[in-house]
Amino acid sequence: MSRTVLRSALVSVFSYRVEARRLSRLLCRRCRSPLDLHQPNPNQPEQFLGTCMDCGQWFRVEAKAGERRALVIQLPEIDEVRAAGLDPLYEPPSN
């Protein structure tokens, strides 16, 4: 059974805009390698998930019709979220 706990904490999220017509050549912000773009939901054709095969970073990408620049959001790393105290199962190491 999954355990859901709602918490909030500060996690760094980077966002920026790129030329929508160059989306197929989107580069990873962290290591500059080309991203693999996925379209997980055909009912949301403007929403993409970008993944970097080299460093493992993930990005949310929104390319709305009629907008020249797509929005890219670099998703936080799981370890960063865990370190911020947002993992319900996380127990800080005892000293």
| Residues forming the site for Zn ion (CB under 5 A) | 28, 30-31, 33, 52, 54-55, 57
Look-up of token digits 């403007």: 46
Residue closer to Zn ion by CB (options 11, 55) is 55
Q: How far is the CB of 31 from Zn ion (least distance, A)?
A: 3
Residue closer to Zn ion by CB (options 22, 32) is 32
Residue closer to Zn ion by CB (options 46, 77) is 77
Q: How far is CA 27 from CA 31, 33, 72, in A?
A: 8, 5, 11
d(CA 57, CA 29): 9
Q: How far is the CB of 52 from Zn ion (least distance, A)?
A: 3
